[in-house]
Structure 1
């Protein structure tokens, strides 16, 4: 007989995963402790759904992925093998995260970022242009600047994180404000309309102006000249546009002056009334008084009394007036001759006496003789000398007004 020895004893294979794979420890070492050891043993770790980072031919490989890892121990002397498997516990699920931004406007200069997660116990950390040390760990921080903000949510149980992005836009564009006025205030146009237009569809309008004027409509009527300040508020972003409109008031009267060329006398039965205005030629004239109604600048007056000139500006309709009084001087001189003594042989000549008549430097005298009378001297005085029986006439003329009187003796 032949005795054939046998060596079919398999090696010992033991595999374990002492540590958990999580976000704190993304790599762990598996253990083959308890397996056969010695120079005649080889080791091989394999996996179908995990990942071996290093040491797959050792008893302590490094892995970084969940899955089942198989350790095969081979006895190089007899070729026998043994296998064992290990499945590390995995906790790598990240928390959920959401982030909401907003729009910075003139009405809302501060935006509250909204961070949220349904995973319990998480912590929040923000980064972005408006994040500072005092608010970076707040769940809902307030920010003043537009930009992209990143929220990192961390689960303290496994160290896993999730990020979300919030966008903060900027809308501080003011609406357009274009003001206008319908015209100029004059004596004919006592009110004008302001108008304010804008590109904002949802706008609030406002006006302020002289004497405490205010209005909250785009097109108020105003009666006082001056600067008016219009505002347009965009109700969407709270921004305001401005415009200033000057309302011009042209209510300056044209000015009027009137004068007469003289007075009514016995020589002048009419006078010329002349009107004038510093605003000429942009004026019209209107004369009234003593049955006169004329639109001429200069008129002829035949009656004494007051005449009124009204001057109207053709540009602004404002008026000025002037009054001129036409005087009448038609007083007839007083003519009185004292009865003279008779001519006879003792009185070859006599002196006529008209001294009770009007006297003065503005009177002129002239004696004439008819029916045989003869003036010796003084025919231009009140006391002429005559030497013949006849009819003597005295004409007195007022030099100032040309009026005359006639008496005879």
Structure 2
């Protein structure tokens, strides 16, 4: 029976008996096992399968009868379960084993102190996590110890690998303490025993004294100053030390020797100073002085010594601290040469030769030579410190020539004599002239005479031709006598007074009235008084007959000769000057030439203040309306004469004229071509004129067929707004020739017709 339900059976035995019975068949459910759990595991691990709870019995294909089964091998796993009805059923699953990640940690398992080493995980994996929680396939490690990495693949399986990292100490580079070189210590060994040593180390030195021969030496020897550095490399671990530096200072130097001879042995200087103060100094500096024979004459700390002999002296400067030394030599010279002194030839003084120039130029000369003259009886008036002084007195003169370089002197002397004896001059007794005795005799017979004596008489500031000692004179006054000795140039003077009797006329007092204007004959001379003489007086002017009137009227300016005669017949003559009247001057300048329409300036130049003019009158063809002006600007239309008449406050009148010539050039310009192309240049045909044009009456333009293409009337010149732009009825003409007619009115009213051709260009 495989179907549940009620079943019955009827049976017949051998007896043929039949009987039956019935039963109910019930169908119990089968168990439904399901294997739960992870059906895969990572190699080296296991997974657990679960057949489920509630069954009476379990039987795994491995023979296990537990509900749970630990699996550590891949394959098919089945389980049969029995339920409470005794029904049995089974199921199976496949369990897979996943591979673990394959990893390897690579990299240098050590690092140099202060640096790091780089580790890298290689293999098959999805992610890496290091023991310090860092992630990624690489890791920089700067601490010693064990470092591990866990790799996870796509199955979430993990693998772990670790490596031990060691910290390597840096090699020691010890360049040592700073060192010195000097003039005695020429080389030095640099470096220290504290530097790491061994065959695994490489030494690299740098510095001015390092080359290929010693750059890899443990402790090299150098002979140059400067900074040296050492770097040590551990070739096993490739660790490089820190740079160690040392300073080598070269104290060697050439001491400065500054040896100066402060003077020269000469007539004034008995000793000179050798000065080495500019040389090198210091607490351990020794100065050693030697003479020309090499003998030491001084040694110690003294930088100056005194010497009294000419020689070559040597100074050695030694710095005991460094052993450095230097020396120099200097010559001490002697100059005791006496300069040559030559006072020159003697001289002679007289009344002509008042001074004499001594001549010491034959003496030694030069910029180092000075001269000094002295005398006890003579007199030096100038140049006493030159070779050629001036002397004015006789005597003995001593020349001293000094060589200023050595103080040595040379001397010489010269004598100057003198002759200043003057001749005798005696002009004689004073004399008197009166109107009845017209001459007197001057007698100078007491005066020296001889072939060497020159006689000169003077009167009223002039010399007389008279050279005798006795002669007659007719003019009163002071007569002077000069007597000269031509041998010595000495002279003497004497005077004699020839007086005029006080009763004779000796002067006049005149009053003048100048003419009113220049050239007028309305001046006068009036004799207001007569000095001396006996009145009454008669008067004569310019040789006219004597009259008793002292007044002369109607005179022009000029020179007049007046003679006054007293009652005794004594006369006095005097020249009188009557100044001329006011000379009023006026100038209008040269005639002027202008073009029609131009302005002309008319300027009257006077020689007095315009305020002194009482009237100013202008006359011209056209009226001049400027009042009493002296200048104005006009624009005449034709050639015009302008005349001015002025009168000053004295009534003096002056007239002057000037002509302004007016030319009519007709300054009208009409171009013969234009180009109306819009470029701003010569686009408009217009009329250009000068100042002589008033306006344009008409401007007409015709084409070749005589058609009027442009016209404009009554417009000002020089205005492009009244020009033709080449258009007619809105159309620009092509290039061709046109004819124009222009009526131009000038400022003087004349009208002129201008015509011609103009070319329009495109």
Is contact 2:106–2:119 with CA below 8 Å preserved after alignment? Answer: yes
Q: Aligned residue for 1:321?
A: 243
Is contact 1:127–1:149 with CA below 8 Å preserved after alignment? Answer: no
Q: Aligned residue for 1:268?
A: 185
Structure 1 residues 166 and 248: alpha-carbon distance in aligned structure 2, compared to 1, 3 A threshold:
farther
1:162 and 2:162 equivalent? no
Is contact 1:102–1:169 with CA below 8 Å preserved after alignment? Answer: no
Structure 1 residues 317 and 128: alpha-carbon distance in aligned structure 2, compared to 1, 3 A threshold:
farther
**1:194 is matched with which residue: 121, 126, 143?**
121
Alignment of 1:144-183 (within 5 A): 145-146=68-69, 151-153=81-83, 161-164=86-89, 180-183=105-108
1:126 and 2:55 equivalent? yes
Query: Whole-Å Cα distance in 1 between the matches of residues 152 and 183 of structure 2?
Result: 76
1:288 and 2:222 equivalent? no
Q: Say which is worse superposed, 281-290 or 386-395, in terms of deviation.
A: 386-395
Query: Whole-Å Cα distance in 1 between the matches of residues 179 and 272 of structure 2?
Result: 43
Summarize deviations over 1:262-290 as a string: whole Å, max 9, x none: 33432233333326776544431112343
Is contact 2:35–2:50 with CA below 8 Å preserved after alignment? Answer: yes
Is contact 2:128–2:152 with CA below 8 Å preserved after alignment? Answer: no
1:379 and 2:304 equivalent? no
Structure 1 residues 210 and 390: alpha-carbon distance in aligned structure 2, compared to 1, 3 A threshold:
farther
- In the alignment, structure 1 segments of 5+ residues that lack a partner are 1-21, 24-65, 73-80, 115-123, 130-142, 155-159, 197-202
Higher gyration radius (CA)? 2
Query: Whole-Å Cα distance in 2 between the matches of residues 275 and 374 of structure 1?
Result: 46
Alignment of 1:333-372 (within 5 A): 333-335=255-257, 336=259, 338=261, 354-369=276-291, 371=293
- The aligned length equals 297
Is contact 2:261–2:275 with CA below 8 Å preserved after alignment? Answer: yes
Shift of 1:99: 3.0
Q: Partner of 1:268: helix, strand, or coil?
A: coil
Query: Whole-Å Cα distance in 1 between the matches of residues 178 and 245 of structure 2?
Result: 14
Query: Whole-Å Cα distance in 1 between the matches of residues 165 and 129 of structure 2?
Result: 12
- In the alignment, structure 2 segments of 5+ residues that lack a partner are 59-65, 71-77, 331-762
Shift of 1:396: 1.5
Structure 1 residues 394 and 273: alpha-carbon distance in aligned structure 2, compared to 1, 3 A threshold:
same
Q: Partner of 2:256: helix, strand, or coil?
A: coil
Structure 1 residues 280 and 194: alpha-carbon distance in aligned structure 2, compared to 1, 3 A threshold:
farther
Question: Which is richer in strand?
Answer: 2
Structure 1 residues 223 and 337: alpha-carbon distance in aligned structure 2, compared to 1, 3 A threshold:
same
Structure 1 residues 68 and 176: alpha-carbon distance in aligned structure 2, compared to 1, 3 A threshold:
farther
RMSD: 5.5
Query: Whole-Å Cα distance in 2 between the matches of residues 210 and 109 of structure 1?
Result: 27
Is contact 2:175–2:244 with CA below 8 Å preserved after alignment? Answer: yes
Structure 1 residues 285 and 341: alpha-carbon distance in aligned structure 2, compared to 1, 3 A threshold:
same
**1:99 is matched with which residue: 28, 33, 39?**
33
Shift of 1:84: 4.6
Query: Whole-Å Cα distance in 1 between the matches of residues 282 and 125 of structure 2?
Result: 86
Summarize deviations over 1:319-361 as a string: whole Å, max 9, x none: 33234443333332233254588699x98x9986644533321
Is contact 1:256–1:322 with CA below 8 Å preserved after alignment? Answer: yes
Structure 1 residues 212 and 242: alpha-carbon distance in aligned structure 2, compared to 1, 3 A threshold:
closer
Structure 1 residues 210 and 371: alpha-carbon distance in aligned structure 2, compared to 1, 3 A threshold:
same
Query: Whole-Å Cα distance in 1 between the matches of residues 315 and 275 of structure 2?
Result: 10
Query: Whole-Å Cα distance in 2 between the matches of residues 152 and 304 of structure 1?
Result: 104
Structure 1 residues 379 and 350: alpha-carbon distance in aligned structure 2, compared to 1, 3 A threshold:
farther
Q: Partner of 1:292: helix, strand, or coil?
A: coil
Shift of 1:406: 1.8
Is contact 1:128–1:149 with CA below 8 Å preserved after alignment? Answer: no
Shift of 1:404: 0.8
Query: Whole-Å Cα distance in 2 between the matches of residues 144 and 323 of structure 1?
Result: 81
Query: Whole-Å Cα distance in 2 between the matches of residues 82 and 330 of structure 1?
Result: 156
Shift of 1:364: 2.0
Shift of 1:402: 1.8
Q: Say which is worse superposed, 90-99 or 283-292, in terms of deviation.
A: 90-99
Q: Aligned residue for 2:610?
A: none
TM-score in terms of structure 2 length: 0.31
Query: Whole-Å Cα distance in 2 between the matches of residues 93 and 272 of structure 1?
Result: 113
1:332 and 2:259 equivalent? no
Query: Whole-Å Cα distance in 1 between the matches of residues 329 and 193 of structure 2?
Result: 50
Highest RCO, 1 vs 2 (Cα 8 Å, sep ≥ 6): 1
Structure 1 residues 190 and 295: alpha-carbon distance in aligned structure 2, compared to 1, 3 A threshold:
same
Query: Whole-Å Cα distance in 2 between the matches of residues 82 and 372 of structure 1?
Result: 182
